[in-house]
Amino acid sequence: MNKKHILFALVASGLSVFGVSALKAQSEPKSASTTSMDGDWVGRLAENFGNLKIIIHIKTTPTGIEGTTDSPDQDAYGLPISTITVNGDDLTYRINSIDVTFTGKMNAEKKEISGSFFQRGMVSKITFQTLASAMAKIPSELNFRYGRTIPNDFRPSPEKGECKITLKNKTADYICLGLINSDGNLQYGWADGNAGMPVFYVSPNSQTNAQKPYSPSVGSAFVILTISGKVIGYGKPAKAGYYELVID
């Protein structure tokens, strides 16, 4: 079985781990604790879990700490976290309905939580960062949005000017930049910044050569893809310039 599909096969019903039935899970009583980790956190699982992005939302209420989790790559949102325990800089949460446990520790700067994600005998290291800090890395001029599905009306709107984009890959997969043409079809073929050449992939924890960035025109509709063709996100440059696009 392809490793990227393991996560989808873990539930006996055949639904994905963050599928529709899972969203109906009822949360259990929460344990009250500190508010040091309240907020929105985002991370990405390793390849053996399909390189899925995970977002957790933590908040303290009068009855204790509550949380939900999202899996945007599976179009699933708001799955209740069953129990959360915060002890100083240590975080543990449990989602009973899908047999998930996470244990981790916040760094000294209070900006990352690193640990291990366990599910039914499988484990992935994952580092969560604040959602705000993750989005702050993305230049607003690129109008980039994370998302697995490309909108039907996503089309180029050509203007004068050219962009230089250095793609920085923080995921556990190989990624590349493709274009959407005026008919809405995906065009592969970027190498050394030039369209029409063999596909050039950026390896995990690496980036494009700063001397050979991607060079889409202003108004072009671009998509970031994994080596298996999965969409990570899409954007459309609004202004000429040199930009670094960090994909977490």
Instruction: Judge whether residue 3 has pLDDT over 90.
Output: no
pLDDT winner (highest mean) among 62-66, 80-84, 150-154, 173-177: 80-84
- Note the pLDDT of residue 58: 95
pLDDT digits (tens, 9 = 90+) for 127-145: 999 988 888 889 999 999 8
- Note the pLDDT of residue 192: 53
pLDDT digits (tens, 9 = 90+) for 194-246: 555 557 789 988 998 888 888 899 999 999 998 888 888 999 999 999 999 99
Nearest to 188 by CA among 217, 218, 226, 219: 226
Residue ranges in the chain assigned as alpha helix (H): 6-9, 131-136
Residue ranges in 23-70 assigned as alpha helix (H): none
Kindly report the pTM of this predicted structure: 0.65
Instruction: Judge whether residue 27 has pLDDT over 60.
Output: no
Instruction: Judge whether residue 61 has pLDDT over 50.
Output: yes
Tokens (6 digits) for 195: 């369209």
pLDDT digits (tens, 9 = 90+) for 154-175: 999 999 999 999 999 988 788 9
106: confidence class by pLDDT, cuts 50, 70, 90: very high
Quote the strand ranges of the chain, DSSP E.
39-44, 53-61, 64-71, 76-80, 83-87, 90-95, 100-106, 112-119, 122-130, 145-146, 163-169, 175-180, 186-187, 190-191, 194-195, 206-207, 221-226, 231-235, 241-247
User: What φ, ψ does residue 62 adopt, rounded to 5°?
Assistant: -60, -20
Rounded CA separation 192/141 (Å): 22
Task: Please work out, in degrees rounded to the nearest 5, the angle formed at the alpha carbon of residue 18 by the alpha carbons of 104 and 174.
Answer: 70
Exposure pattern of 174-212 as b/e (b: 16+ CB <10 Å)?
bbbbbbbeeeeeeebebeebebeeeebbbeeeebbeeee
- Note the pLDDT of residue 236: 97
- Note the pLDDT of residue 72: 79
Specify the long-range contacts of residues 194-200, CB closer than 8 Å, at least 24 apart.
200/176
- Enumerate domains of the chain plus CATH numbers: 3-130 (2.40.128), 137-247 (2.60.40.780)
pLDDT digits (tens, 9 = 90+) for 33-56: 456 799 999 998 987 888 788 999
